[in-house]
C-alpha cells in the first residue's frame, strides 16, 4: 500500500503539491505502537525529490493537491489535513492504525495524532505532547449536550507525568462547541459532523504550548 501510494502521488501531484506531502508540523517523532510499514515506503518514495529551502505549504494548498482523482488512485487511503494556527504549519496525514475506537494518523516523518471517534486523545513528536486524554464524558455530551469532565496528561521537563482536569460545557449542535475551564486555563473546541455523525472537521486544544490543532478529513 505504501509503495503504491508514493508512486501515485509522485505521478499525479506537481512539485508544489508534492512538497505538501513532505511538510511536517514540528520536530520528528515516532510512536512505536502506531508505526506502519507503509510509512517507510512513503518516506523512501519522496526522499531527496525537493530542496529543504522550499516554502512550507498551507492547508489550502494541501486540500487543493488531494483531488478526487488522486484520492481514487490511492485506493481508499484515509487522509486528513492538519494545521496548527499558532505557527501556521500544516501537513497531510494518513491513518496508520486503529485500536478499538481510536484511530492514529501520521505525517511522513512519524509525527502522530490519535483520535477517539474524532476527539483528540494523544500526540507524539510535536514536543510538549498530549500523552493521553480521558474523553468518555465528552463523547457522551457531544451527542446530547451538557457538562463533561476531561483529563489530560503531559510530561514535564523532567519526564514527570502532569495531570490537568477540565470541566467542559458542550452544546450538541453542528458544529458542536465545547468550552472548558481548568485551574488556570480556558479553551474552546469545535467539532463538525457529517450526516452519519462522524467528526469531519475539528479545532481542538492540544495543550498550553502547542495550543490548537485543526483537523479536516479528506477521504470523501
Q: Across residues 155-175, what is the average pLDDT?
A: 94
CA distance 93 to 178: 25
Mean pLDDT score across all residues of the chain: 80
Tell me the whole-structure pTM to 2 decimals: 0.78
The predicted pLDDT at position 57 comes to 81
- Tell me the per-residue pLDDT of 122-150, one tens digit each, with 9 for 90 and over: 999 998 999 999 999 999 999 999 999 99
Q: Where are the domains of the chain?
A: 2-217
For residue 73, pLDDT beyond 80: no
Q: Across residues 60-77, what is the average pLDDT?
A: 78
CA distance 116 to 136: 9
Name the CATH superfamily housing domain 2-217: YmcC-like (2.40.360.10)
Amino acid at each position: 500500500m505504501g509503495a503504491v501510494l508514493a508512486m501515485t502521488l509522485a505521478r499525479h501531484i506537481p512539485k508544489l503539491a508534492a512538497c505538501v506531502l513532505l511538510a511536517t508540523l514540528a520536530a520528528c517523532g515516532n510512536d512505536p505502537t502506531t508505526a506502519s510499514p507503509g510509512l517507510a515506503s512513503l518516506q523512501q518514495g519522496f526522499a531527496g525529490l525537493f530542496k529543504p529551502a522550499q516554502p512550507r505549504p498551507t492547508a489550502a494548498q494541501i486540500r487543493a493537491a488531494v483531488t478526487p482523482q488522486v484520492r481514487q488512485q490511492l485506493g481508499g487511503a484515509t487522509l486528513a489535513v492538519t494545521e496548527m494556527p499558532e505557527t501556521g504549519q500544516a501537513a497531510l496525514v494518513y491513518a496508520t492504525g486503529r485500536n478499538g475506537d481510536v484511530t492514529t494518523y501520521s505525517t511522513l516523518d512519524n509525527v502522530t495524532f490519535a483520535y477517539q471517534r474524532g476527539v483528540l486523545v494523544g500526540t507524539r513528536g510535536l514536543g510538549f505532547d498530549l500523552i493521553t486524554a480521558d474523553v468518555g464524558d465528552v463523547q457522551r455530551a457531544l451527542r446530547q449536550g451538557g457538562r463533561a469532565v476531561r483529563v489530560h496528561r503531559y510530561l514535564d521537563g523532567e519526564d514527570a507525568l502532569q495531570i490537568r482536569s477540565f470541566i467542559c460545557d458542550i452544546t450538541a449542535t453542528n458544529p458542536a462547541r465545547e468550552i472548558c475551564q481548568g485551574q488556570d486555563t480556558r479553551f474552546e473546541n469545535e467539532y463538525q459532523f457529517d450526516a452519519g455523525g462522524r467528526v469531519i472537521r475539528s479545532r481542538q486544544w492540544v495543550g498550553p504550548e502547542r495550543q490548537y490543532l485543526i483537523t479536516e478529513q479528506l477521504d470523501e
